[in-house]
C-alpha cells in the first residue's frame, strides 16, 4: 500500500499546482521588493548581509561609494535636498524605511535633513573619528549602509539633525498613515490564495511560499512531496489602516472549503491543508472566534477543519510561483481551479474583494 501511495501523492502534487520550473529561490530579505514596489515595512526580523561584490552589482558607483565606503556626497547635489513631496525615504541598499517626509526640514546645509528616523528599526548610531572630528555616524540598521551623521543642533521636538547623503536614500510617495502588517494563511494551492488576497483593497502584496514545517529553505518539490511538514502558504502584506485582520479572516474562510481535511479542492495531502498562522494572542482569538461562529452558524454540514497555529517562519517560494495567476492566465490549472475559486470569493464577499476581472496588469 505504501509503495503505491507515495508515487501517487507525488503525481497528484505535480499535476495539482503546476509544473516543476527552475528552482531559483529568493532569500527572505529580497521578498519585500518582489513586486518592485516599496512598503514602509518595520516587521522585518533578519538583517541583510551581502559581500562588497554583491552590493556592487545592485548599486551605482556613487551609491556604493557612499553606503559601503563611508563616502560623502557634495552638498546640494541630491535632488532630495529640495524634495517637499509626502512620502518615505528608504535605504537604497536594502529598502528599509529610514525617514518620513513629516520629519524633513530645511537645514541650509545642502544635505537632506530630518529630525527623527522613521522607526526604532531604521538606523544605528556609531562614533566616527575620521577626518579629525568625532561625529556620530548613522547607518541603516538592517544592512549597515553608511547614510550620514547626526548632530544635536536640530529643531524640536528632538533637537537632532540627521544629515543624510541623498545617494543613500530612495524616495517613494506614500500616505503617511500607512501601517504595514503581515498575515500568513494556507488553504491549498498558493497560486489561488495569492490571487484572492491580491484582489483585496488594502492588501499591498501577497507572496507565495511555505510555512508550518520544520525544514529550512524548503523547495517546491520537497513541500509537495509532503516530507517537510510545510503547507503551501501566502504571506499577505496589508495596510492595517485600510483593511483589518478580521476582514482578512473573512476573505480567507470565504475563499475555500474550510471543512476539507488535509487538502483543498483537487489538491490532497499535508502541503494543501488549511492553516491560519497567528502573530499574537489577539489574532489567535479572532481566528478561533470566527471558526466558532462558522461552526455555530450551521453554514457547513461538517466542522471547520482549518487549524489555528502560531506563526514561526515563512519561506518565499521560487520566483516562478510568484504572481502565477496574473502571469499565466491561460494555464489549465488556473482556468480550472484558480479563477473559478476567485470568482466564488468575489461573489461571496462583494464588499471586501474587488469585482474586477483578474488578472489585471499591475
CA atoms within 13 A on the CB side of 192: 33
Identify residues 228-287 at the interface with Zn ion (CB under 5 A): none
- In 3D space, the residue among 258, 260, 246, 259 whose CA is nearest the CA of residue 200 turns out to be 246
Q: Is 17 one of the annotated active-site residues of the chain?
A: no
- Can 163 be counted among the known catalytic residues? yes
Catalytic site residue from 91, 94, 140, 189: 189
For residues 143 and 334, which CB has a smaller minimum distance to Zn ion in the complex? 143
Stretch that binds Zn ion, among 137-145, 157-165, 299-307, 319-327 (CB under 5 A): 137-145
Which residue, 26 or 273, is less far from Zn ion as judged by CB? 26
Cβ of residue 323: shortest distance to Zn ion, in angstroms? 25
Question: Which residues, at least 6 apart from 68, have a Cβ–Cβ distance to it below 8 Å?
Answer: 52, 55, 59, 145, 146
Closest to Zn ion by CB, 66 vs 94, is 94
Which C-beta is closer to Zn ion: that of 93 or that of 103? 93
234, burial (CB in 10 Å: exposed 0-12, middle 13-18, buried 19+): buried
Q: Write b or e for each residue in 283-295: b if 16 or more Cβ atoms lie within 10 A of its Cβ, otherwise e.
A: bbebbeebbeebe
- The answer to whether residue 140 forms part of the interface with Zn ion (CB under 5 A) is yes
| Residues touching Zn ion, count (CB under 5 A) | 8
* Interface of this chain with Zn ion, residues 142 to 201, rule: CB under 5 A: 142-143, 145
- Asked if 203 and 243 count as a contact pair (C-beta separation under 8 A), the reply is yes
- Residues sharing a CB contact under 8 Å with residue 36, sequence separation 6 or more, in sequence order: none
Comparing CB distances to Zn ion, the nearer of 93 and 100 is 93
- Mask 79-118, x = binds Zn ion (CB under 5 A)? ------------x-xx-x----------------------
Q: Which of 185, 190, 200, 261 is nearest to 232 (CA)?
A: 190
Least distance CB 101 / Zn ion (angstroms):
19
Least distance in angstroms from the C-beta of 142 to Zn ion: 5
Give CA–CA dist 132/63, Å, rounded: 24
Q: Report, in Å, the least distance between residue 183 CB and Zn ion.
A: 25
| CA nearest to 91, candidates 27, 42, 160, 150 | 42
> Which residues are tagged catalytic?
163, 189
Residues that bind Zn ion in the complex, under the rule CB under 5 A? 91, 93-94, 96, 140, 142-143, 145
Amino acid at each position: 500500500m505504501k509503495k503505491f501511495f507515495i508515487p501517487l501523492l507525488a503525481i497528484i502534487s505535480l499535476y495539482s499546482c503546476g509544473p516543476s520550473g527552475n528552482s531559483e529561490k529568493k532569500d527572505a530579505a529580497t521578498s519585500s521588493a518582489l513586486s518592485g514596489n516599496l512598503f514602509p515595512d518595520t516587521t522585518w526580523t533578519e538583517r541583510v548581509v551581502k559581500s562588497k561584490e554583491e552590493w556592487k552589482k545592485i548599486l551605482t558607483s556613487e551609491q556604493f561609494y557612499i553606503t559601503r565606503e563611508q563616502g560623502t556626497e557634495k552638498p546640494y547635489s541630491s535632488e532630495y535636498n529640495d524634495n517637499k513631496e509626502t512620502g518615505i525615504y528608504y535605504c537604497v541598499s536594502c529598502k528599509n524605511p529610514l525617514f518620513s517626509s513629516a520629519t524633513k526640514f530645511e537645514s541650509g546645509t545642502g544635505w537632506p535633513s530630518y529630525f527623527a528616523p522613521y522607526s526604532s528599526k531604521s538606523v544605528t548610531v556609531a562614533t566616527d573619528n575620521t577626518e579629525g572630528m568625532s561625529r556620530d555616524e548613522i547607518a541603516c540598521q538592517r544592512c549597515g549602509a553608511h547614510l550620514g551623521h547626526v548632530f544635536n543642533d536640530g529643531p524640536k521636538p528632538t533637537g537632532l539633525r540627521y544629515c543624510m547623503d541623498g545617494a543613500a536614500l530612495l524616495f517613494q510617495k506614500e500616505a503617511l498613515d500607512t501601517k504595514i502588517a503581515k498575515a500568513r494563511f494556507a488553504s491549498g494551492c498558493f497560486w489561488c490564495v495569492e490571487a484572492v488576497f491580491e484582489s483585496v483593497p488594502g492588501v499591498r502584496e501577497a507572496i507565495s511560499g511555505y510555512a508550518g514545517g520544520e525544514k529550512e529553505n524548503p523547495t517546491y518539490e520537497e513541500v509537495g512531496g509532503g516530507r517537510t511538514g510545510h503547507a503551501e502558504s501566502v504571506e499577505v502584506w496589508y495596510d492595517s489602516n485600510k483593511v483589518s485582520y478580521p476582514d482578512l479572516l473573512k476573505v480567507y474562510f470565504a475563499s475555500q472549503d474550510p471543512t476539507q481535511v488535509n487538502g483543498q479542492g483537487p489538491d490532497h495531502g499535508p502541503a494543501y491543508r488549511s492553516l491560519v498562522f497567528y502573530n499574537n494572542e489577539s489574532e489567535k482569538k479572532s481566528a478561533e472566534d470566527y471558526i466558532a461562529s462558522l461552526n455555530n452558524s450551521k453554514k457547513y454540514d461538517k466542522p471547520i477543519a482549518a487549524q489555528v497555529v502560531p506563526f514561526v517562519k515563512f519561506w518565499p517560494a521560487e520566483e516562478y510561483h510568484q504572481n502565477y495567476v496574473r502571469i499565466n492566465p491561460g494555464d489549465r490549472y488556473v482556468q480550472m481551479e484558480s479563477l473559478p475559486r476567485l470568482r466564488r470569493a468575489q461573489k461571496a464577499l462583494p464588499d471586501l474583494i474587488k469585482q474586477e476581472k483578474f488578472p489585471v496588469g499591475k
